[in-house]
Structure 1
């Protein structure tokens, strides 16, 4: 995807391969809810320390870990992390609503 700057210079919002690899391989963990009962999700991209997810923490992480990204790429990486967390939470909710299967009785 290409965005245009005000001076007419084309700037790509595509993420570099090394950024995608670090984010795509991120380990995501759920912790006990905080005081506000919101789920606390830890995101630990490959090769980096983890952080408790919220959009500002994700933006801070991307800016610190990948300073070479332009603004469009940074926004895209933050949205990508948000998508990973959303997918994780949906899967966790689905896992909690389905009855657990027991290999000993379901043969």
Structure 2
């Protein structure tokens, strides 16, 4: 029984690895897309970075197995990071 549970985690981790690899390839392609406005390219890169950080924290750091309170505590710095990113992006266009 434990062997079956181990395989399911292994498959999940391999899937997440390939998702992260795909997102990294997309991040490498986006800066070369000069026909898109800089704001949209920068915004897409920031969103991809947040998405990758979420996947790493949620699966590889096992936040999906934590209690709701721990998830809430982890969400506070994430919220601060999102707020800081929005301020930085907004200040770029003043």
- TM-score calculated relative to the size of structure 2: 0.37
Structure with the bigger RCO (C-alpha within 8 Å, sep 6+) is 2
Instruction: Say which one has the larger Rg.
Output: 1
Name whichever structure is richer in helix by fraction: 2
- TM-score calculated relative to the size of structure 1: 0.34
